[in-house]
Structure 1
């Protein structure tokens, strides 16, 4: 083995171990959250009001009040009493109601990665008394936007414009708008929801793949497959009449020549039906960029198929994806994440449903972690008369196409190379 091959193999092994460690950590985190859900729900009111600084002050006050008498140290008792009074004063800042109403509006609920999602926040004071200045926040995914709200007179209105950057594909929960009351030291924090939550879909980048429908599925009423049927549109041969055959398919001229009844046989045809399957297994990708590229490939081929009037099915390693329309399909891809317990590609293809196996073309979107051997094994569990194409997404790799029997394997390093790969596969 050459030194270069040894280094590449060692690097690949280290990457696999790192991805497996991340997958294990994610599975353990989800399991811990599930086991502690009841406890966290019971203590949520207190946990949401007391900040980490508040917990620190409270614990320290208890420690000082206990340690003072034990050590006969009056200063410790005085310190504990002082910290307790500070907490009591903090309570005065958070009690009361916020007489406000809010409305959150997004200019667009669906954007593409890289676009800005604009919106505006409207706050009103419907009460008969003047409101106090406070901070108004609303979560945006894992982040949080905050605005300083001035005091509002009765019936007054205040508007804030905002823009949400969308650097990553995601389904973001925007809102609810929250009025925040807190003490100056940040020991306690009380929130009150003022509006409903909205959802922002950040769709993956897609491109138009010209000629994909004509290249991958070359038929108008369906693609002929090597299955004999007694009732279809593609004529295949004649055979002897069997009781129960449809008399409309009797070929009378041939029957007159042979002296026995002959009926037509047909080759089964299928409608143009595309299935895009995206692996959501962490170990199948060397980086998150590969995963995003695989999703963009599936989105591009799926939306093109729908635009061409084809039937579309979509799936990931752990679930089926909505494919009733381009918008619902991209919404499903926007929320697709790694599944810590996802099965290998071979096991996924083995368990596909009947509707998914009825596709005339199946495209497997995977990363560099899926080997050629795995692709070959996965192909064995798919129907023989189905056209199967695997698109391996390897960032920085030169585009290439190779055939492994009836399995086409296209490798791309950028989304812009998808059109060339599709044309080569369809050639």
Structure 2
């Protein structure tokens, strides 16, 4: 089998002669050259485009790097600025602390060093300025301030009227000085007929004013403070060696501790711009005691017991033997002393000294909630004073308590002095709290007396009696002016109601009945 011709197999046209073959070869060779040239030309023509794209990418990359570098530089600058600010703030804080420390270290020694000088200056200057400044009355200071204000405003705005007001104010103050200058050479004595009076009576006193100088003294005015009030006396012209006395009376409508005095001589102008006072005496205390009544015998409800103290009162049925006496009809036959009766031929009976416990506790409520009106409180104070005085007269120990204090009971006078100054005070402590306090303060008392007004309820009374120690006889005195005398039992508590101070003794006798 004949092998195919490669050219025919490739599809080439049959060679018709040599010239055609060479032409095709040349043509093919020229085509390849043209293709290579085109490729070269294309490559030469494409290089600028490729270079331009690479340059753009490089420029963009460089721009990005520059922007990043700029951002980093800005961030670095911002960080440095923040650091500078923080350093400045830290430096400022340190400077402030340093200044504070320096101020403390420097200022405190300066102040400490200046204090003695300030005190010395005050001690030197104030005694000089005080007599001048205290002479000017509040109204005088107002006139002086108005004059200064009018003077400043008149000079500032050119108002003649304000200048006239200013100079008129200064002129009036200058003329007022004439009324307060000068010296007084008085000798003054303040006397009270009694330093202690019972409420309702009149306290009497006198003021004696003398002139011990070698010249006559012009008329003046004397002032005498009495409690919250003020009494004024006119002193005439006194020649050398002369004296003038004034009597005065102090009404005492209620209990109080009054300060009478000090006596002061007063000089001043008619308008009251200046006022000069000179103190001549000290104050005297005047005690206005509550009204009290005498409680006869054992009407105070005293209890006899085995632990008591003997008294001078004789009894027929106690354990402290005193003496023998003849038999009297009605005497207890168990007290007959048979041996002595057989020897004398007359019935003789033993006689004893009465014994009582040594302590009486009085609890007076000062809470306004326990009273309906002030009259109830005054009646309770008088009842407390009457019971306390009676206990001291019968040589018994007594404790008197209120919510805020324990009163003095060494003598009857001291007890009444303390009762003179007792006032009602707002307090959360009721009669129940007061009874508890009394029980803790006087646990060995035989009798405890609670004094209050009509506002205390039976429930409160029962609670109060429970607060006291077991075995203590509890007596409650309800003070209600105008109420009838009454006695009732509330558990172990004996309640007495009185409408007047004179009802106290009959009411107490009912306790022993």
| TM-score tier after normalising by the smaller chain length | 0.7 to 0.9
- The aligned runs of 1:231-380 (5 Å cut-off) are 271-341=357-427, 343-352=429-438, 355-380=441-466
Moved more, 390-399 or 179-188: 390-399
The DSSP-based 3-state class of the residue aligned with 1:121 is strand
Decide which of 83, 87, 112 is 2:198's aligned counterpart.
Answer: 112
d(CA) in 2 for partners of 1:223, 1:95:
71
- In structure 1, runs of 5+ residues without a counterpart are 1-42, 225-232, 236-268
- The 5 A counterparts of 1:24-423 are 49-68=135-154, 72-211=158-297, 213-214=298-299, 216-219=301-304, 222=307, 271-341=357-427, 343-352=429-438, 355-423=441-509
TM-score relative to the length of structure 1:
0.73
8 Å CA contact retained: 2:290, 2:382: yes
Q: Secondary structure at the match of 2:363?
A: strand
User: Is this contact kept in 1: 2:380–2:451, CA < 8 A?
Assistant: yes
8 A contact 1:217–1:223 mirrored in 2? no
Moved more, 133-142 or 152-161: 152-161
CA distance in structure 2 between the aligned counterparts of 1:67 and 1:289, rounded to whole angstroms: 60
Indicate the SS of the match to 1:196: coil
Instruction: Assess if the C-alpha contact under 8 Å between 2:185 and 2:212 holds in 1.
Output: yes
The structure-2 alpha-carbon separation of the partners of 1:400 and 1:69, relative to structure 1 and needing over 3 Å to count, comes to farther
Shift of 1:329: 0.8
Shift of 1:327: 0.9
In 2, Cα distance between equivalents of 1:277 and 1:48: 47
Shift of 1:223: 5.3
Describe the shift of the 1:384–1:44 C-alpha distance in structure 2 as closer, same or farther (beyond 3 A). farther
* Cα pair distance change 1:220/1:387, threshold 3 Å: closer
Relative to its length, the structure with more strand (as a share) is 1
Equivalent pair of 2:407/2:415 in contact (CA under 8 Å): yes
The 1:118/1:66 distance shift into structure 2, 3 A limit, reads same
Distance in 2, matches of 1:49 and 1:171, equals 30
CA contact (8 A) 2:222 2:232 kept: yes
**How far has the Cα of 1:125 moved from its partner?**
1.5
Contact 1:219–1:272 (8 Å) recurs in 2: no
Q: In 2 relative to 1, CA 178–371 (structure 1 residues): closer, same or farther, beyond 3 Å?
A: same
1:141-200 C-alpha deviation (Å, 9 max, x unpaired): 111221111121222222222221111111111111111111111222221111122111
Higher radius of gyration, 1 or 2: 2
For residues 210 and 63 of structure 1, the distance between their equivalents in structure 2, rounded to whole angstroms, comes to 75
Look up the SS of the partner of 2:225 in the other structure: strand
For residues 233-255 of structure 1, the C-alpha deviation after alignment (integer angstroms, 9 at most, x for no partner) is 989xxxxxxxxxxxxxxxxxxxx
User: How far is the alpha carbon of 1:325 from its aligned partner?
Assistant: 1.0
The change in CA–CA distance for 1:389 and 1:70 in structure 2 (over 3 A counts) is farther
Distance 1:191 1:153, change over 3 A: same
Corresponding pairs, count = 344
Distance (Å, rounded) in 2 between the aligned partners of 1:55 and 1:342: 45
Distance 1:280 1:131, change over 3 A: same
Distance 1:165 1:62 in 2: 47
Instruction: Indicate if the aligned counterparts of 2:435 and 2:450 stay in contact, CA closer than 8 A.
Output: no
CA contact (8 A) 2:439 2:467 kept: no
Q: Distance in 2 between the 1:275 and 1:384 partners?
A: 14
In the alignment, the residues of structure 2 paired with residue 296 and residue 125 of structure 1 have an alpha-carbon distance, to the nearest angstrom, of: 46
Instruction: For residue 425 of structure 1, give the secondary structure of its aligned residue in structure 2.
Output: helix
Alignment match, 1:230: none
Asked whether the 8 Å contact 2:265–2:277 carries over to 1, the reply is: yes
Q: CA 1:289/1:155 → structure 2, altered by over 3 Å: closer, same or farther?
A: same
Q: SS at 1:192's partner residue?
A: strand
Change in CA separation of 1:206 and 1:74 when aligned onto 2, cut-off 3 Å: same
Query: In 1, distance between residues paired with 2:481 and 2:427?
Result: 25
Residues 392 and 412 of structure 2 are in contact (CA less than 8 Å); yes or no, is this contact kept in structure 1? Answer: yes
Q: Deviations over 1:324-372 (max 9, x none)?
A: 1111111111111122346322223333375533322111111223222
2: CA distance, partners of 1:326 / 1:157: 39
Q: C-alpha displacement at 1:285, in angstroms?
A: 2.0
